[in-house]
Structure 1
Amino acid sequence: MKKRKIPMRKDIVSGEMAPKKELVRIVRDSEGNVAIDETGKKSGRGAYISINVDSARKAKAERVFEKAFSAKIEDSFYDDLISYIDHKQARKELFEDGQ
C-alpha cells in the first residue's frame, strides 16, 4: 500500500515545520479582513500557528500577524485567537488521552 504524503506547513511563531492538521490557519481576505480559518480552505493569504496557547500569547506580544499580513489587527482578534487555540488544545489533549 502506498504511503500518503502528509502536508507540512510552517508555524509563523516558532518557524518550525509541522503537519497541517496540528496547526490553525489564519487568513486575510481580499478586503483586508483577518479571521481564523476553521476549515483551512477560505480564499486569501494564509499563515499558520500551532495549537499551543503559549504560541498564541507570543504571537500577540510580538504582533506577528500584523507583520505577516502588513495590516493593522485589533487586540480583540488576538484574544479570540488565544481562546480558540485554548479550546482546540484542550480538545486535542482530551481525545488523545482517550485513545
Structure 2
Amino acid sequence: MKVKKIPQRMCTGCMEMKPKKELLRIVHSKEGEISIDLIGKKPGRGAYVCMNIECFEKSYKTKRLERNLGGKISEEIYAKLKDEINHE
C-alpha cells in the first residue's frame, strides 16, 4: 500500500512546516477581499498561521501575513483571527 502524503504548510508566525490541517488559512481573493478560510478551499492566495496565540502575535508584529498575502489586512480581520485562535 502507498502511504498518503500529508500536505505541509509554513506558519507565518513560527516559520515551521506543519500539517495543513493544524493551521488556520487566511486568503486574499482576486477581488481584493481578505478573509479567514476555515475550510481551506477558498480560491485565492493563502497564508497560514498556527492555532497558537504566540504565533499569531509574532505574525502580527512582523506583518508577515500582509507581506505573504500582498495586501493590507484590517484590524477587524485580525480581531476575528484572534477570536478564532482563542476558540480552538
TM-score, L = length of structure 1:
0.80
Q: For residues 42-57 of structure 1, what are the structure 2 equivalents within 5 Å? A: 42-57=42-57
Q: Tell me the C-alpha RMSD between the 2 structures.
A: 1.3
Which consecutive aligned stretches of 4+ in structure 1 deviate over 6 angstroms post-superposition? Answer: none
Q: For residues 1-80 of structure 1, what are the structure 2 equivalents within 5 Å? A: 1-80=1-80
> Alpha-carbon deviation of 1:72?
1.5
Name the structure, 1 or 2, with higher relative contact order (CA <8 Å, separation 6+): 2
Does residue 86 of the first structure (1) align with residue 83 of the second (2)? no
Identity of aligned residues (%): 42
- 2:42, 2:58 → 1: CA distance? 25
TM-score, L = length of structure 2:
0.89
Runs of 5+ consecutive residues of structure 1 not aligned to the other structure? 89-99
SS of the equivalent of 2:27 reads strand
